[in-house]
Amino acid sequence: MHLTRLALTDFRSYASADLTLEAGVTTLIGPNGEGKTNLAEAIGYVATLGSHRVATDTPLVRQGAERAIVRSAIASGRGNALIEIEINPGRANRVRLNRTPLPRAREILGVLRTVLFAPEDLSLVKGDPGERRRFLDDLLVATAPRYAAVRSDYERIVRQRTALLKSAGARVSRGGRVAASSVSTASAAAPSGGPPSARSGTGSAASAIAATLDAWDDQLARVGTELVAGRLSLVRALRPHVEAAYAAVQPGARAEAIDAAAREPITAAGYGAAFIHRTGHGIGLESHEDPYIVAGNAEPLSPGMAFSIEPGIYPGPNGARIEDIVVCTENGAERLNNVTRDLILVDAG
C-alpha cells in the first residue's frame, strides 16, 4: 500500500496543504521550522488516530482555527480508499471513509499502515516502562484493531480510579468521616453508580471509599487481563519466526533461503504484509554489510560469516522485532547473544 495524496486544512502550521505522492521514496527537504515533521505527523495520525509528539489533539489545530481536517488517499492491493478526519479538540472527532461517516473513529484503523522512526523513539530505551507498554499496545491495536476498544476502556478505568483516590484523599476529614458531597462524588465516578454503601452519605470514609474502589478494581483486573493477554500473544507470535530462520543457517545455504525461512511463518500467521524489512544483514567492519539476508540474494553462506536475524512485524507506526546475532559454523548457526526472548513484565511501582 502507499499514500497517494495528503491534504491538510488548519493542521499545525498549515492553513492549507495538498501533497501528491508517487510510489517509492519521497524525501522532504527544507529549512528547520518549515513543517516537514508536521506532514509526517499528519500521516501518522491517519494511521493511528494519535500523534507521536503530543498526548492531546489541541496542539494539532492551527492557532486561531476551531478544527483541523486531514484527508488522505491510499492505494493498496485491496483497492483505493479515502480517509477524512475532522479533529475537534474537546469534542468528538469525525471520520469518513470513502465519503461515508463512521460511527466510531477507530473503525479506520488498519486502512493505512505506516512505520515511523523519530527522535521520540529514544523514550523506549531511556523512558519509563509506561513508554514501552504504550509501544507494544500501539502494535497490538495495529495488528488487531478490536484492541483499540480494550485499550480505551483500560485507560478510562485507570483515570477514573485515580480521580477517585485523589478526590477521597482531599475530602476525608481528620475524624475519619467523609462529607456527603464527597461520597456522592465517589459514587458518580463508580461503575454503574457504585455500591449502595457508597451512595448513602453515611458511614466511615474508609468503608465508602473501599466499596467504590472495589468496583473499579474489579473492572481494572478484567480489562487489564485482556490487554496483557494480547501483549503476550503478540510476543509469542514473533518467537517461532526467529527459530525458523536460525535453523536454516547452514554452510552453503543461500542468504535468500534464510529470509524465506523467517518470512514464511509470519506470512502464514497473517502478518506477511507487516514484515516490511529484510531479515538481517552482515556484521563485520561496518554495522551493515554483506551478506544481506534478503530475498534475491543468492550468496551462499560460509563458516565464519556473522550476521543478524531479526524478523519483525510493523503493521502501524510502531512494530516489534526479535534480533539475534549469529555466526555460521560448520555445524550450523551459533547464536552470540543469549538474552531471553520471553516478554518480561516489569512492575512500574
Sorted by where each starts, the structural domains of the chain and their CATH numbers stand as: 2-114 (3.40.50.300), 235-335 (3.90.230.10)
Torsion angle of the four alpha carbons 240, 246, 248, 249, in this order, in degrees rounded to the nearest 10: 170
Rg from Cα positions in the chain: 25
Torsion angle of the four alpha carbons 36, 37, 39, 41, in this order, in degrees rounded to the nearest 10: 180
Q: How does residue 328 score in pLDDT terms, banded at 50, 70 and 90?
A: very high
164/71: higher pLDDT: 71
pLDDT of residue 344: 64
Q: What are phi and psi of 88, to 5 degrees?
A: -120, 95
- Grid look-up 536460525 returns 246
Distance in angstroms (rounded) separating the CA atoms of residues 249 and 261? 10
Tell me the residue type at 31. Answer: P
pTM value?
Answer: 0.52
Render pLDDT for 17-34 as a digit per residue (tens, 0 to 9): 999 999 888 999 999 999
pLDDT of residue 115: 80
pLDDT of residue 179: 42
Q: How does residue 186 score in pLDDT terms, banded at 50, 70 and 90?
A: very low
Cell of 182: 464527597
Is 80 exceeded by the pLDDT of residue 158?
Answer: yes
Distance in angstroms (rounded) separating the CA atoms of residues 258 and 248? 6
Render pLDDT for 3-12 as a digit per residue (tens, 0 to 9): 999 999 999 9
Is 90 exceeded by the pLDDT of residue 123?
Answer: no
Q: How many CB atoms lie within 10 A of CB 156?
A: 12
Q: How does residue 99 score in pLDDT terms, banded at 50, 70 and 90?
A: very high
